[in-house]
Amino acid sequence: MEFPRIVVNAKVYTEATGPGARALLDACAAAGRTGLAPPLTELGNMARFGRSAPLFAQHVDALPAGVGTGFITAAMAKAAGASGTLLNHAEHKLKPVDLKASLAAAKAAGLWTLLCADSLAEARRLAKLAPTAIAVEPPELIGGKVSVTSADPAIVSDAVAAVRDLDSDILVLCGAGVKTGRDVRAARKLGAHGVLLASGVVKAKDPAAALRDLASGLL
């Protein structure tokens, strides 16, 4: 399975729960090359829905199975159908020691690791951890109307260059404010593998149409 070019992080939006979760999965599967990080409570339901798209846990913890309350282990995320995990999102920032531990647990479980960086400096630091991918997302643009590719194209191209210099195997995505196929095309022109986004799909009137437009930017 190839690492997706578009990853939809459904966060804890209510639109992505219950029937919305199934609709979102269908839309991601239909768009192609698109992964979905559903609300954690929906992850295990996805297999029952029939359509498939690569799934990501929004987070995993490093503890082993057994004693531990209120955590999600990497092995459990994998067993629930995840192919990868996000880690260190701006809304779920981890201390370096915890990030390293979660990353190691995710790798041991055979999950792709998509680490979020809120700056160029953080992207550089994260590249030393050899994740599968890094998504650079300026926090001030998250949930906004302007795509990072327009508001701060340099952070995307600089992150691509910096990460490539350190480890050319790591894929670089960008996110924050991404909404359209034009934004995806711009991300690709800036050298990014793809995009990580949330509200542009989850809060769209027609998420499937939004995803079709986004995917058109990959052509």
Q: What are the residue numbers of the active site?
A: 89, 137
User: 3-state class of 181 per DSSP?
Assistant: helix
Please name the residue ranges forming H helices in the chain.
Answer: 19-31, 40-43, 74-79, 96-108, 120-127, 148-151, 153-166, 181-189, 199-202, 207-216
CA-nearest of 116, 125, 127 to 89 is 116
Kindly state the smallest distance separating residue 217's Cβ from ligand G3P, in Å: 14
Residue with the CB atom nearest ligand G3P in the bound state? 199
Cα separation, 186 vs 218, whole angstroms:
10
Of residues 27-66, those binding ligand G3P (CB under 6 A): none
175 is a contact residue toward ligand G3P (CB under 6 A) = yes
Number of alpha carbons in the 13 Å side-chain half-sphere of residue 143: 7
Instruction: Choose the binding region for ligand G3P from 16-24, 28-36, 45-53, 198-206 (rule: CB under 6 A).
Output: 198-206
Q: Judged by CB under 6 A, which of 138, 177, 207, 217 binds ligand G3P?
A: 177
111 is a contact residue toward ligand G3P (CB under 6 A) = no
CA-nearest of 107, 97, 105, 110 to 62 is 105
Question: In terms of CB distance, is 170 or 173 closer to ligand G3P?
Answer: 173
DSSP secondary structure string for all residues of 61-89? B-PPSSS-SS--BHHHHHHTT-SEEEES-
Total residues at the site for ligand G3P (CB under 6 A)?
14
CA 103 vs CA 30, 47, 135: distances in Å:
30, 24, 15
Q: Judged by CB under 6 A, which of 198, 210, 214, 218 binds ligand G3P?
A: 198
Kindly state the smallest distance separating residue 132's Cβ from ligand G3P, in Å: 16
Kindly state the smallest distance separating residue 151's Cβ from ligand G3P, in Å: 11
Kindly state the smallest distance separating residue 66's Cβ from ligand G3P, in Å: 31
Q: Judged by CB under 6 A, which of 3, 6, 9, 106 binds ligand G3P?
A: 9
Q: Which amino acid is located at 24 in the chain?
A: L
Using CB under 6 A, list all residues that contact ligand G3P.
9, 89, 137, 142-143, 175-178, 196-200
